Amino acid sequence: MKDIILTGDRPTGRLHLGHYVGSLKRRLEIQNKGEYEKFYIMIADSQALTDNFGNVQKVRDNVMEVMLDYLAVGLDPKKVNFFIQSEVSELTEFTFYYMNLVTLSRLERNPTVKDELKQKDFNNSIPMGFLTYPVSQTADITAFNANIVPVGDDQLPMIEQAREIVRSFNNLYGKTLIEPKAVLPDNENSYRLVGIDGKAKMSKSLNNCIYLSDEPDEIRQKVFSMYTDPDHIHVQDPGKVEGNTVFTYLDVFSRPEHFEKFLPEYKSLDELKAHYSRGGLGDMKIKKFLNEILQELLAPIRERRKEFAKNPDAIMKILYDGTMEAREVAHENVIKLKTSMGINYFN
């Protein structure tokens, strides 16, 4: 059996480098290999509403922004089925039946949800929609029979939850659903690219992002403000590479040809790291190098994005076509689901 792949993003802001290394790159590889039956990318607007229900306009506006980022990095509507979550109403049906298979305490144990709750300050009045979004995420995956879900490691608890629901469903009602598998990025530093402050994951709410759409000046300014080694005061001082954001980024983004092109006095990252550790290599030099690399990566993405942005109607058409197709599949599958449960009265 060929794979059915599904993944998605909440449209709450433009996509950034963390998204790029954590998931977009992997998606491009999958797309370009082309060894799948179907590849869905969902814009999870309903899920975004679970903690933005008071700001629908923001979510709505970001559907377009996220779609522009997808196309800008090279995801191709001929190879990928893009759709909008809220426009596939069957997903709420799946969710409703899956709710019976999950307990409140199980939902409260989800480590990613726990982290998010801490950040969000719901003050003990947790909206049910937010607490149960992992159940709706199970619906997103199973409504399309997806067996592969490429995600960042913060999404592993969601996939685990999905697997549990699938097992419960199959045990109760007979084998109907497929247990999905997560695929993670291959570079460990990409799992959660740290923000430019070096503190935590790159995240819009922490204001530590480099966006795919950033202009050259913004990129340069952000790179030069990056957290390095606070004890590396004079160029001659030995510097720490561990936990030094610039080196974390170089681990992720630099390739041998970048040295030839931008920093020919070093042959490899190991050599650069050794010099920095020893002392005698200033932060400016490594920041300049990283800036060159990121500028080169982001320039074509930014330019393509501007081109696509000239024609929003064409973008909406891509989403419309993809959503209609997704609806058909989800509809067929919800009938199968209900038939397994024995709540098919009229067929």
Instruction: Using CB under 6 A, list all residues that contact ligand TRP.
Output: 6-10, 42, 44, 47, 137, 140-141, 149, 151, 155
**Based on CB atoms, which residue is closest to ligand TRP, 9 or 214?**
9
**Based on CB atoms, which residue is closest to ligand TRP, 111 or 216?**
111
CB of 232 to ligand TRP, least distance (A): 35
- Non-local (6+) Cβ contacts of 175 within 8 A are none
CB of 194 to ligand TRP, least distance (A): 18
| CA count, 13 A, side-chain hemisphere, 187 | 18
- Non-local (6+) Cβ contacts of 170 within 8 A are 176, 177
Give the CB-nearest residue to ligand TRP.
44
* Angstrom distances, CA of residue 212 to CA of 5, 24, 96, 293: 24, 11, 36, 14
Q: Which two tokens stand for residue 137?
A: 């995420």
**Based on CB atoms, which residue is closest to ligand TRP, 27 or 287?**
27
**Based on CB atoms, which residue is closest to ligand TRP, 151 or 241?**
151
CB of 190 to ligand TRP, least distance (A): 15
**Based on CB atoms, which residue is closest to ligand TRP, 7 or 95?**
7
Contact 326, 145 (CB under 8 A): no
With H, G, I as helix, E, B as strand and everything else as coil, classify residue 149: strand
Q: How many CB atoms lie within 10 A of CB 335?
A: 13
**Based on CB atoms, which residue is closest to ligand TRP, 115 or 296?**
115
The burial of 133, by beta-carbon neighbours within 10 Å (0-12 exposed, 13-18 middle, 19 or more buried), is given as buried
Q: How far apart are CA 26 and CA 38, in angstroms?
A: 16
Sign of CA dihedral 288, 293, 296, 302: negative
**Greatest CA span in the chain, whole angstroms?**
80
CB of 7 to ligand TRP, least distance (A): 4
**Based on CB atoms, which residue is closest to ligand TRP, 149 or 210?**
149
Contact 169, 45 (CB under 8 A): no
Question: For the stretch 169-180, what's the b/e string if a residue is b when 16 or more beta carbons lie within 10 angstroms of its beta carbon?
Answer: beeebeebbbeb
**Based on CB atoms, which residue is closest to ligand TRP, 42 or 334?**
42
**Based on CB atoms, which residue is closest to ligand TRP, 18 or 77?**
18
Q: How many CB atoms lie within 10 A of CB 312?
A: 12
> What residues form DSSP beta bridges with 36?
3
Q: How far apart are CA 328 and CA 346, in angstroms?
A: 19
CB of 96 to ligand TRP, least distance (A): 16
Q: How far apart are CA 88 and CA 326, in angstroms?
A: 7
